[in-house]
Amino acid sequence: MSELQRLRLDHAPALFAFEQENRAYFAASIPDRGDDYFTHFDVRHNNLLDEQTAGLSFFHVLVESGGEVLGRVNLIDVADGSAELGYRIAEKAANQGLATTAVHQICALAAADHGLTTLRAATTLDNAASRAVLARTGFVPTGEILLGDLPGISYVRNLSEVLEAAAR
């Protein structure tokens, strides 16, 4: 059973392993992070924690009981009650409902803990699994875009019903 945890300094080794082990898998459907990301991972990790402390973004990891990271779920560019949702799930944990569960959880956290009212997301056209997760979790397509050089779709999710359900 995995748990959604707010990103901490001690997640760095497991998160680095997750990113390395799944690099080729992720690059098949989203733009690759590039070699520089891995070369300067520790600096980048510390910068993310600083960004989180400042309230500009909120980073989360899905952690197994043994400490292994199976996914990331992030809220970035937080401003004016809105944020961009991003997530990635390890290849070995794909197609098990983990992304759908995590996105439901992050929507609730976004509304209740961070006071957000809207989330945005995007995925490539060829990423059917991600499109399905966004549809199952209440995101609505808003238009076609480019993600790097890849054609994609943008989405939006109004969190008002999440807040209403929490109030009941």
CATH code assigned at 85: 3.40.630.30
**pLDDT tens track of the chain, all 168 residues?**
889 999 999 999 999 999 999 999 988 777 678 778 888 999 999 999 999 999 999 999 999 999 999 999 999 999 999 999 999 999 999 999 999 999 999 999 999 999 999 999 999 898 899 999 999 999 999 999 998 888 999 999 999 877 666 666
Tokens coding 93: 């944990």
Q: Domains in the chain: how many in total? A: 1
Contact 73, 4 (CB under 8 A): yes
Contact 134, 104 (CB under 8 A): no
pTM of the model: 0.90
| Segments forming the whole domain that contains residue 94 | 3-167
